[in-house]
Amino acid sequence: MLIQLTYPKRRKSKHLGLISLLSLLLITGFQLSFKRGNTAKEVSKTVFPVMGEASSGELSLLTYNVAGLPQIISSAETDRAVSIQEIGRQMNKFDLVNAQEDFNYNRQLYAKNTHPYRTENMGGVPFGDGLSTLSKYPILKTERIAWEDCSGSDCLTPKGFSYHRVQLAKEVFIDVYNVHATAQDNPSAVLARRKNLLQLAEYIKEKSAGEAILIMGDFNAHYAFSEDNLHDFQKETAVQDSWVMVQNKGIHPALLPDFKAIHALQVTEECESIDKIYFRDSEKLRFSPSSYKIEHELFSNEEGKPLSDHCAISLKMAWVLNEQ
């Protein structure tokens, strides 16, 4: 079931030159003419199942930048259509998934995917934001918000974040955010990314006041990079970083004056990734993260090549209702 209710990178080497952009628009035009005829209708809330009561549970989470730009300009090494179809199949192993850069191969991503609740794709570049959420739990609301500030090739799409209200059980709800912040480290991109996180923080304060939240996505930012404002973002939203808690003993990486990011595919559980999973408790619900993992093996092909140009990040997250 596909859901679409409302519509109101840093450290990547790919830049769209004029020739690439023209090729991209030509490719996109042909693909969108096909895909637009296959988009799902808005789903009425009446089709959602009646949820049973529960006071606790466990979620398996995944965030993954799937590198869904057209093959001609993709920096991923493997065939995009084949790889993204396999990505969609492997995503079945997780309860709640946020995908970024789901642009021109959404049909393949969903082809062998069995999540009963999946957001409707906006289309390929330059029309889509690349954000898709797949869930085993009902998605009751969806909103997409484009960044007010962008830089370079990131301005070619309505890149931003999405908001979802997800129901875990009867009278148990969480707010889920899917994020893809501005890429690159030049002054214009850095400033745009800082403003991206400020915009997201303001939206969370207004939309999710008092609610338990999950934020998963490609932040294109590091704690160790002095120009990024992840610390400020955490302070404004009161969220906690699952990697910091589970893998780094609660310690944030120190600022490094000569910081240089490693390639997104070289991250391990022992180092910070630009792909992050944040969470926040509420008065009603408490989260407990565990089993943070870089899913190298699960999202590689038979030759051992990664299916995307990012690593997939998974997390097990227990939840429990606080005694009232």
Give per-residue pLDDT as tens, 14-55.
434 433 444 444 444 433 333 322 233 333 344 678 899 999
Position 290 in a domain? yes
The structure tokens listed for 266 are 């070289």
Q: How far apart are CA 227 and CA 63, in angstroms?
A: 24
The total domain count for the chain is 1
Task: Please classify residue 19 by burial: count the beta carbons closer than 10 Å to its beta carbon, then call 0-12 exposed, 13-18 middle and 19+ buried.
Answer: exposed
Task: Please classify residue 320 by burial: count the beta carbons closer than 10 Å to its beta carbon, then call 0-12 exposed, 13-18 middle and 19+ buried.
Answer: middle
Look-up: residue for tokens 């209710």? 5
Could you tell me the strand order of the sheet in which 240-241 lies? Answer: 139-146, 160-169, 172-180, 213-218, 275-280, 240-241
Position 119 in a domain? yes
Position 203 in a domain? yes
Position 34 in a domain? no
Q: Which residues of 211-250 are buried (b: 16+ CB within 10 A; e: fewer)?
A: bbbbbbbbbbbbbbbeebbbeebbebbebbbbbbbbbbee
Position 270 in a domain? yes
| CATH code of the domain in which 92 resides | 3.60.10.10
Q: φ and ψ at 38, to 5 degrees?
A: -120, 15
CB 212 within 8 A of CB 174: yes
Position 135 in a domain? yes
Q: Which residues contact 20 (CB under 8 A, 6 or more apart)?
A: 72, 73
Residue range(s) defining the domain that contains residue 216:
64-321
> DSSP state, 300?
B
pLDDT tens track, the chain, 324 positions: 554 443 333 344 343 443 344 444 444 443 333 332 223 333 334 467 889 999 999 999 999 999 999 988 888 889 999 999 999 999 999 999 999 999 999 999 999 999 999 999 999 989 999 999 999 999 999 999 999 999 999 999 999 999 999 999 999 999 999 999 999 999 999 999 999 999 999 999 999 999 999 999 999 999 999 999 999 999 999 999 999 999 999 999 999 988 988 889 999 999 999 999 999 999 999 999 999 999 999 999 999 999 999 999 999 999 999 986
Position 262 in a domain? yes
Position 6 in a domain? no
Alpha helices in the chain (DSSP H): 18-35, 80-90, 106-111, 187-207, 230-237, 242-246
